[in-house]
Amino acid sequence: MHKKILGALFVLLFIGVGSLLYKLLNQGVDVKVEQVKDRSLAPQETIKSSSERAWVKELAQKEARSFIYPVNELFMQIDLQGPNAEKVKSFRLVIDRLDRYSLFCIIQTLTSFNLSYMIVKEEKAPLIYVQEKNEKALEKVLRELEKYDIKSKIVEVLL
């Protein structure tokens, strides 16, 4: 008895799923076909610049580069406080070794002390200039760099 009921339910389920699939697959689909004109065969219009000696054309026609690319970063300090303001001195940080790790440690240390610095790339080694009002504040930087095994000294320079 149970087998007959289960068999009948299975047949009804099979017929229901089959009819659902038949309705879904045999729906009428309207397809509209539109013709599009091919514009690639038509002559293309070019926009001519009003001036024949435009700077882009002039730069493109140069064979040798007679210009230098600008620097990545420029630091400029302008004293707007007047003549009574305390003068800021420039010091050069002389380092015993300048590899990438040492340069990274130096930059992080100077940044942590909120000091203005400038790194000038030279042929042999980069030069590091620091601006500060007195030399005693820079002695803290030297002690901090000794923790990273970087021996350094401060020399006052005129920029």
Choice between 114 and 36, residue whose per-residue pLDDT is larger: 114
* pLDDT one-digit tens code per residue, 69-128: 566 666 666 555 555 556 678 888 888 877 888 888 999 999 999 888 888 887 777 888
Is pTM beyond 0.75? Reply is no
32 in a domain, yes or no? no
User: Is position 99 within any domain?
Assistant: yes
Residue 146's domain spans which residues? Answer: 89-157
The answer to whether residue 34 is domain-embedded is no
The side-by-side arrangement of strands in the sheet containing 127-132 is: 116-120, 127-132, 89-95, 152-157
Q: Of 149, 158, 46, 141, give the one whose Cα is nearest residue 101.
A: 149
* Count of the separate structural domains present in the chain: 1
CATH code of the domain covering residue 110: 3.30.70.600
